[in-house]
Amino acid sequence: MSQQPMQHTPRVGFVSLGCPKATVDSEHILTRLRAEGYEISGGYDEADLVVVNTCGFIDAAVEESLDAIGEALAENGKVIVTGCLGAKDDVVLAAHPQVLAVTGPHATDEVMRAVHLHLPKPHDPFVDLVPPQGVRLTPQHYAYLKISEGCNHRCSFCIIPSMRGDLVSRPIHEVMKEAEALVDSGVKEILVVSQDTSAYGVDLKYRTGFWNGRPVKTRLYDLARALGELGVWVGLHYVYPYPSVDDIIPLMAEGLILPYLDIPFQHASPRILKAMKRPASSENVLERIRKWREICPDLTIRSTFITGFPGETEADFQELLEFLAEAQLDRVGAFAYSPVEGATANALPDPVPDEVREERRMRLMSFQEDISTCRLERWIDREVDVLVEEVDEEGALARSCADAPEIDGLVVIPDGEHLPVGEFARVRITDCDVHDLYATPLS
């Protein structure tokens, strides 16, 4: 009996750039690739072609994405481009006309069609190659859960709606099914992400769905309460400060979801907020923050701000610093304004010189340092649960409920070399610096 020659299994390389929403898009594509029998290559040399998921939000991200495409072409030669920069196919093709295909973001089907065209899929109907939770790029103990796509806002500095479209919420039963699969696979923390998490369900008029045989509205409050029943950490990210956010805080006080809010306020000057097309009032925000902390004293608030927006005066910037002094935010990131091709803010008068934008960014971050340190000092001498990230002979690195992965600080545990990675541990906080906490494990 003659032996059949071994069939080559097609291998796809993958480069994933950008934000957590893009990471979720990458995971969907990788899941489809594995489901269809493709192997995922860890390097360019072994891959039959390479998919590059790009970012195109600011100029630096565009440059990084174009460099990544160029590197993939140089090392492999066969490249499919997807993601936010892919929405500007003219930019990609002008720089790299030899790419095989270009698609926009959230385009798994289009990417798979391009892969099929240039690397026909294998066929093995007898093997299930994908676990129920899909293929993920995050460690086993945490995962991003994307609940919607697109955004209905038209902030003048942002081009995301032109790349990802208007808000499209996922049905709540679908979201909960994915969340349950993640928990069943061993995930200890779910990070809820979207372009505008607070708006979840608006496009569906908060339609009632069903989960575990009971009705649940397609609304952030109901979703947060349902996720809180799964027995894992649940954090909310990219939360727009709608009034409905006030209803979420009691869930945090009850311990159903993490006492953590990621809210990009962007500025505090009413004049600049109006130019940004951000409907917000710093006085109202400050009052709401006070009320939130009355309900949930351990609430951690992270935010981001833009310095040097067109028309920003020194008085506007001082108003922003005064807001930070009053708000006492826990975590703050700042970006010097960067013109993005296609953003309406580019046409605004009185652009701020580059050096002033950067100088204000540095002043803001320096100003915030003392505030962040003071906010961390409240944890000293307290016992808290942490999720262990890394362990070596020098100890362990972990995260508290106040720390989102890769963007916030860490809990450093010098004598924690025995702690298991990906598991919870109980520690006592002993010290802090500007960004991190220090702790000792409890027996």
Q: Residue 7 — very low, low, confident or very high, per pLDDT cuts 50/70/90? A: low
The tokens describing 415, both together, are 């004598």
- Position 377 scores a pLDDT of 97
Per-residue pLDDT tens digits for 38-60: 999 888 989 999 999 998 877 78
Of 124-138, 145-159, 243-257, 369-383, give the lowest mean pLDDT range.
124-138
d(CA 82, CA 18): 12
Residue with tokens 């569906």: 204
The tokens describing 25, both together, are 């898009």
Q: Strand 214-217 vs strand 233-236: parallel, antiparallel, or unpaired?
A: unpaired
Three-state secondary structure call for residue 398: strand
Distance of CA 339 to the CA centre of its chain: 22
Considering only CA atoms, which of 288, 297, 367 is closest in space to residue 332? 367
The tokens describing 422, both together, are 């990906």
- The answer, yes or no, to whether residue 348 has pLDDT greater than 80, is yes
Q: Residue 211 — very low, low, confident or very high, per pLDDT cuts 50/70/90? A: confident
- Position 124 scores a pLDDT of 53
Ligand-binding site membership of 151 (annotated):
yes
Per-residue pLDDT tens digits for 414-429: 999 999 999 999 999 9
- Position 279 scores a pLDDT of 65
Considering only CA atoms, which of 292, 304, 291, 229 is closest in space to residue 259? 292
pTM higher than the cut 0.85 = no
Those residues with Cβ within 8 angstroms of residue 80's Cβ, 6 or more apart along the chain or in another chain: 49, 50, 51, 52, 99, 100, 101, 102, 103, 111, 114, 115, 118
Say if CB 118 and CB 100 are below 8 A apart.
yes
Average pLDDT of the chain is 90
Determine what percent of the chain is predicted with pLDDT higher than 90. 69
Ligand-binding site membership of 296 (annotated):
no
Determine what percent of the chain is predicted with pLDDT higher than 70. 94
- The answer, yes or no, to whether residue 128 has pLDDT greater than 70, is no
303 phi/psi in degrees, rounded to 5: -150, 165
67 phi/psi in degrees, rounded to 5: -65, -40
191 phi/psi in degrees, rounded to 5: -105, 110
- The answer, yes or no, to whether residue 201 has pLDDT greater than 70, is yes
Q: Residue 132 — very low, low, confident or very high, per pLDDT cuts 50/70/90? A: low
Mean pLDDT computed over 224-244:
93
Q: Which DSSP symbol is given to 191?
A: E
- The answer, yes or no, to whether residue 390 has pLDDT greater than 50, is yes
Of 123-132, 188-197, 239-248, 286-295, give the lowest mean pLDDT range.
123-132
d(CA 355, CA 365): 16
- Position 1 scores a pLDDT of 42
Mean pLDDT computed over 120-136:
59
Ligand-binding site membership of 374 (annotated):
no
Ligand-binding site membership of 84 (annotated):
yes
Considering only CA atoms, which of 37, 30, 90 is closest in space to residue 62? 90
